[in-house]
Copies of this chain bind each other. A is one copy, B any other.
Amino acid sequence: MGVFPFFLRLWPPGIPAEFSISGTRPARFSLVWPNGSGTSSKEDKVHTYPECIPCILRASLTAGRLSGKGEEELWSALQEAAQVCAAWEREKPPIALGAEVAAVLKRKLGQGDPFWKAKKEGNAAVLRLYPALKERVRSSEDPLFEALRLSAAGNALDLGVHPEVHAEEALSLALRQPLGRWDYELFQKHLKEAESVLYLADNAGEIVVDRILIEELLALGKRVTLAVRGGPILNDVTLADLAEVGIPREVEIISTGSDLPGVFLPLSSADFLARFHRAELILSKGMGNFEGLHGERGPIFFLFQAKCYPVAQEAGVKVGSLVLLGPRG
């Protein structure tokens, strides 16, 4: 029996008790997955893998431990979460399983933000690296390419998955990973034709390397809108976490309208959906956003590190790869 490193996919807790969504969908999330959502083509949707079950439960535990709750409450929450997993239909996306488990945890363990301190520390740690990283991009042959690659590598900064991520080591390791699929020319083509970019953020810490990519986009004369999570979930970045990150003033900041750990249109706010559907170009950071949005039509580029088997499978790359995945056809 033993210890040690292994790849896992972290997950969420936290789904809003109530939120508004547009169209014919219900105004309250019933914990019943809507089959055949109006906005989604079902092709290429990430389904739930066996790996997602222990991963989501492990992440629940991380959040539960950070919440400071007692053993009995934690045990009870984990058991109810396991029950949800036991009854889950694997055709549904793992992010929806995360949403259901998150609802259980919120009810059992309360509404707080257990990752608050870790996010603050994560941001501070990457901010210390900012000058060197900025210089790395600035002095590279192709600053846009390098900013994209750095931003993908920044997806390794996932405090939820590994409670002791050392920013410098994690970034350095991720930058040594291969480019598993890298639709750079396609991205350049789309970017050239777009006046604005909708940038979907992922984690705290990582947001500092996103800042460098955003600064490159601004330097290329693009307007940038940055969408952060609508509420605390793991170490995902929210409005409250942005204070010291130094996002340029000209960037408009909006909320996805949900506290899922990835944009997932059936659970996004009407405001966000409107922005999403009229975006000229969407840059979607991280595995959570990929899980939620893969298969959606539109000018979406996914930028992430494929850190778990399910996501690597869906992206058609090896685990660990850096990915820039553009729209097909």
Contact = CB atoms under 8 A, between A and B. Distances in A.
A92 interface: no
A71 B310 CA distance: 11
A125 interface: no
Contacts of A275: none
A160 B3 CA distance: 9
B58 A161 contact: no
A268 interface: no
Contact residues on A (Cβ < 8 Å of other chain), bracket: 35 or more
B170 A203 contact: no
A300 interface: no
Contact of A307 (B3, B82, B155, B262): B3
A183 interface: no
A316 interface: no
Contact of A6 (B78, B87, B162, B286): B162
Contact of A50 (B54, B78, B86, B163): B78
Nearest to A57: B54
Given A2-B160, A4-B156, A53-B57, 18 more contacts: A1-B9, A1-B261, A2-B10, A2-B159, A3-B156, A3-B161, A3-B162, A4-B158, A4-B307, A8-B58, A49-B71, A50-B75, A53-B82, A57-B57, A75-B90, A79-B87, A83-B83, A86-B86
Interface of A: 1-11, 49-51, 53-55, 57-58, 61, 64, 71, 74-75, 77-80, 82-83, 85-88, 90, 155-163, 165, 170, 202-203, 234, 236, 261-262, 286-288, 305, 307-308, 320
6 contacts: A1-B287, A3-B158, A3-B161, A6-B161, A50-B64, A54-B54
